[in-house]
Every structure is written in C-alpha cells, then in structure tokens.
Amino acid sequence: MALLEINNLEVHYGVIQALKGISFEVNEGEIIALIGANGAGKTTTLHTISGILQASSGNIIYDGKDITKMQAHKIVNLGISQVPEGRRVFAQLSVLENLKLGAFIRKDKDGIEEDLRNIYERFPRLEERKNQMAGTLSGGEQQMLAMGRALMSRPRIILMDEPSMGLSPIYVSEIFDIIKSINKDGTTVLLVEQNAKKALSIADRAYVLETGKIALSGDAKDLMNNDTVKKAYLGE
C-alpha cells in the first residue's frame, strides 16, 4: 500500500479549474518528482495535500486514512510536512524561533533538542546564525531554514515546493544533495520542481503535470530519456 495516494483530485479557484482529476501515489522511502511548467498545478497539488486548499472532488489517502477534508494544522500532526514555495520563513523571528515553530505540534522536549542538534549538524550555517532574524538570511540560507523547520516536526513525508527557485547554481546543487540525504535518513520526499533535470536526477519516479492533468509518468531515468520530456522540460 502506498504511503500517499491521490485519486482523481480536482481543485477549483472560483470558476477556474486548477487540477482536472489527477491521480498518483508515493511509496514509503521514495523521492517522487512532480515536474511541469508554470501554472500546471504543482503548487496547488501540494497545498491541497497539506490542507491549505480544499479539493472539489477526488480524495487523498495517507497511510490508509482519508485526509481530503482534514484541516491543515491536523495534517501536520499525521507526519506530513511542507517546505513551501518561496520558503516563507517567519522573517521577523530568529532562526531558532523558526525552528521551534517547526516543532509546534510536539511536546517531547528532549526529542526537540535532539532534532535541533541534528539540524544544526546538517545545516551548520543555521547554528552560526541562530539568533539572527530569518529575514536577514540569504536565499539559500532561508531555504535551508525552511527545510530544517519542516524536519522539526519529524515528518514521514516531506513536500518540497520549488526548493531551487531563485538560488545560485552552487546552492542549487547543495540543496539537491540535502534532499537526497534527508531521503536516505528515512523521510519520503514529494518534490515539485521547475528544474526538471535536477529533479529527475535524484528522483525514483516522476509525474509530468500539464495544465492540471498528468501527461506522463514513469521511472525518473526513463523520463529523462523520453523525447517529449527532453524537448519540453530539459531544453535538449
């Protein structure tokens, strides 16, 4: 049984239909890439899974449970965490306060301290800047903070929305290495990216979204060699 199962999901913004019945699944331990152009419905998909947006039909099954109508703050409790597009760190709060907010749903003080140490180990720059306001960090550091913050809830699956957006090439490679290592440590990853080449290079499987529908799907390696994908998304 898949960890996350999306069935015929439809989402509307007023009269505009953003998702026209998409279905896909994410198995425990996988990295799944969701690629596609601007406006294809990638962010809408992640926001609907997280409960920020409501589906107009279809359902989302997580760990055997229907979470389609569940409120966002309860979904986090189940082990689904999101690194939102544009990082959306709390700019006026310190790095440490941001990380603590990531652990908002948890009550195990020792566990939180332990995870904080792990995150500082993974992102040493966050420890150096722990008392600095998050808004003063560089784009790459903010991305690390957003990832660290999402990890603080100890998720089983982490949804990442355009983690490489607006970053310098050096940071992009670093961020993708981090995603791989997060996955290696046991967290399932659903990755939304415009940088299709990078996304496919680390993913197990991938789905290609085109204006609210899934146009293609398969093993990431196969998709990388697919002529349509090459033309439309890899610029070859």
Question: What residues line the site for another protein (CB under 8 A)?
Answer: 50-52, 71-74, 76-77, 81-82, 84, 88-93, 97, 100-102, 104-105, 135, 149-150, 153
Shortest Cβ 166–another protein spacing (Å): 11
Please, are residues 175 and 168 in contact by the beta-carbon 8 Å criterion?
A: no
Please, are residues 39 and 198 in contact by the beta-carbon 8 Å criterion?
A: no
For 228, phi and psi rounded to 5 degrees? -60, -45
Nearest to another protein of 28, 90 (CB atom): 90
CA dist 150 → 1, 143, 156, 158, 174 (Å): 25, 11, 11, 7, 17
Please, are residues 99 and 119 in contact by the beta-carbon 8 Å criterion?
A: yes
With a CB cutoff of 8 Å and minimum separation 6, the contacts of 91 are: 133, 134, 135
Name the residue with tokens 């993913």.
Answer: 203
Nearest to another protein of 83, 223 (CB atom): 83
Shortest Cβ 233–another protein spacing (Å): 27
Nearest to another protein of 153, 183 (CB atom): 153
Nearest to another protein of 112, 206 (CB atom): 112
Say how far apart CA 13 and CA 19 lie, in whole Å: 10
Shortest Cβ 80–another protein spacing (Å): 10
Shortest Cβ 222–another protein spacing (Å): 33
Shortest Cβ 57–another protein spacing (Å): 21
Say how far apart CA 182 and CA 22 lie, in whole Å: 27
Nearest to another protein of 68, 153 (CB atom): 153
3-class SS of residue 173: helix
Nearest to another protein of 84, 200 (CB atom): 84
Shortest Cβ 104–another protein spacing (Å): 5
Shortest Cβ 167–another protein spacing (Å): 15
Q: Dihedral sign, CA of 39, 42, 46, 51?
A: positive
For 222, phi and psi rounded to 5 degrees? -65, -45
Amino acid at 129: R
Nearest to another protein of 76, 216 (CB atom): 76
